[in-house]
Amino acid sequence: MLLVCWALAPSLARADRPDLSHGRGLVWGASGIVPILLGNVHYAEPPNTSARYIAPGGGVDARIGWEFDGGLRIEIAGGIDGHAVDGQLPLARYRGGAQLRYTLDCGSDFYPFFAVGGALALFNRNNSLAASFDVRGLVGGGWWASSWFGLELAIAVDVTPPGFAFTDTIVILSPMIGVDIAY
C-alpha cells in the first residue's frame, strides 16, 4: 500500500484536491459497467435449463453515502445489468445493498480505493424473477479533477451463492468507469 502511495507522487498534488482527513459528508457516484459472467449458469427452477452462451453485458451502478474522517464511507449501492443469452431471453440482474468503501489519501491527485459489501440480487431469467444474495469486493483508482469531483476506474467481483436462482455459485467480474461526487 505504501508503495502505491509513493508511486502516485505526492508532489503532483494540486491545492484544491480533497483533504480526506476531514470527511466530506454526503458523497455519491455512478459507473458504467461491463459485467462478465464466469463459468456456467444453471437455473434452479424448472425447466432447470442452462444458459448456453452469455456474452459480456452492460449496465449501470450507483451509490450514495456518507464519508467520515480518514476516507471511510458507508454507502447504499445498487444497479442494473443485462446479458444476451443464446436462444433464450436476456438475463437481467437488479441489485441493491450496502457497502463499506475506503479511499486511501496518498497526498496526490490520484487515489486508490477499496470496497466490500452485500446486496439483495434479483435475477430476471426466462420470464421469472428469483431473489438471491451476493457479496462484492471492489478495487480501483481515481483522479481528483477538483475537490468535489473524481473520475474512477475499478473492477468489482460479485459472488452469488447457489439457491433460489441458480444451482451453482455465480461469479460476475465487472470492469467499471465512473464518477465520484462530494456535496
The whole-chain average pLDDT of the chain stands at 85
Summarised one tens digit per residue, pLDDT across range 69-81 is 999 999 999 999 9
d(CA 172, CA 51): 15
Q: What is the C-alpha end-to-end distance of the chain, expressed in Å? A: 28
Summarised one tens digit per residue, pLDDT across range 15-48 is 567 777 788 889 999 999 999 988 777 777 666 6
Query: Does the structure show a pLDDT above 60 at 134?
Result: yes
Amino acid at 33: I
Angle CA(118)–CA(120)–CA(121) in degrees, nearest 5?
Answer: 110
Name, in order, each residue with C-beta under 8 angstroms of 171's C-beta and a sequence gap of 6 or more: 37, 38, 39, 157, 158, 159, 160
Give the mean model confidence (pLDDT) for residues 108-125: 93
d(CA 160, CA 119): 10
pTM: 0.85
In 3D space, the residue among 116, 124, 126, 131 whose CA is nearest the CA of residue 161 turns out to be: 131
Query: Does the structure show a pLDDT above 70 at 179?
Result: yes
Any idea which architecture 20-182 has in CATH?
Answer: Beta Barrel (2.40)
Name, in order, each residue with C-beta under 8 angstroms of 87's C-beta and a sequence gap of 6 or more: 52
Pairing of strands 25-33, 36-38: unpaired
Give the mean model confidence (pLDDT) for residues 76-97: 88
Q: What is the pLDDT of residue 48?
A: 67
Query: Does the structure show a pLDDT above 80 at 171?
Result: yes
Picking from 90-94, 104-108, 128-132, which range would have the lowest pLDDT averaged per residue?
A: 128-132
Q: What is the pLDDT of residue 150?
A: 94
